[in-house]
Amino acid sequence: MTERLFDELSEGILKIDEGLVIVQANRAARAILGEIDSVALPDGLHVQGISKIVDCFISGVRFETDTTYVKDDTTLYLRILVTPPYIVFRNITGERLFENAKMDFVNSIVHEFSTPLAVINGYIQLLIEKQDEIPDDVTQTIERISRSANRLARLVEELGILSNLELQNYRVKRETVNLRELVEEAIGDLESKWKRKKIQIEFSVSQDIYACVDSLLLFRIISNLLSNAVKYSGVGDKIQISSRESEKRIFLSVKDNGIGIKSEELPRIFERFYRASNAKTSGSSGLGLGLSLVKHALNLIDGTIDVRSRYMLGTTVTISLPKRI
């Protein structure tokens, strides 16, 4: 790497010798860490988790982590990549503060909406119980109010779950779960939605497949994936749900022939509040929370997710889960 290019890069770059001494630092690195040439790595890059960074460097293992660096009573958030003989880092303080602000906003919504929604739903139930005394046109209005209130309640619930997952406040309860039973439950839960669009649901999930996971999280994951497939499928389309097994993992796939996702937008689909451009123009509602929730839930139960999509030709989402021990 030429000296000029080395200095022009926006990421901070440190070149480390075999004695764990910083032999070269580019301009971006010096702007954050100061003059650190000929300084030992642990002293020059004094961040949380430095021992893990040093261990990976010595072992020659590529490693990436987010950490904090405190300088002059100012805390910076850094994303560090260990790739011997270099250590590359980027200042992500702005991104992190923005994420924190969004999470504070989410928590405020959950807190402020929960009590009024409970009151609204309580009065709706009272009106439903007295529907024999109410004119038919008013009863229909009450039903529409009830559906809207339930949609809002589900949104607030998802925001609350996502907040707990991101803040790691959720306690995972591992148990042996029959995969087919959860899929059938999710299909039944969404029956009114897929029947309204005359969608065919085909599923080939063995009755003998068991996963060692948190059943509530897995149900939420399956329900979100199926809900997305229904939401972005056309009238009369087909959705296929299938499973397979390897020696240690279980794989569940949800395939639709809907509007798909543009290739350049795929890397962002797990971001909170992100919706693909064609999803916004499809007429379907949503805040872009579903896949973010799915991703966080899978992380907690040692699961993975793979999304394959072709614009306007459909999407296949495959999750993998730990097998029953």
CATH code assigned at 216: 3.30.565.10
pLDDT on residue 239 = 97
| 99 and 80 fall within a common domain | no
Range of the structural domain that residue 124 is part of: 95-166
| 191 and 63 fall within a common domain | no
- What SS3 state is found at 153? helix
**Domain end residue (candidates: 91, 109, 140):** 91
CA 299-303-306 angle, 5° bins: 105
CATH code assigned at 31: 3.30.450.20
| 294 and 182 fall within a common domain | yes
Q: Which among 268, 262, 198, 269 has a CA at the least distance from the CA of 228? A: 269
CA–CA gap between residue 323 and residue 217 (Å, rounded): 16
| 265 and 213 fall within a common domain | yes
| 53 and 139 fall within a common domain | no
**Domain end residue (candidates: 118, 144, 166):** 166
**Domain end residue (candidates: 46, 75, 91):** 91
The model's pTM is: 0.60
CB atoms near residue 63 (< 10 Å): 17
pLDDT on residue 182 = 93
| 215 and 135 fall within a common domain | no
| 180 and 285 fall within a common domain | yes
CA–CA gap between residue 323 and residue 325 (Å, rounded): 6
Q: How far is CA 291 from CA 52, 54, 230, 271, in A?
A: 31, 35, 14, 8
| 116 and 42 fall within a common domain | no
| 288 and 183 fall within a common domain | yes
| 190 and 254 fall within a common domain | yes
Q: Which residues of the chain have pLDDT under 70?
A: 1-3, 166-169, 279-288, 324-325
Number of domains in the chain: 3
| 156 and 194 fall within a common domain | no
| 317 and 202 fall within a common domain | yes
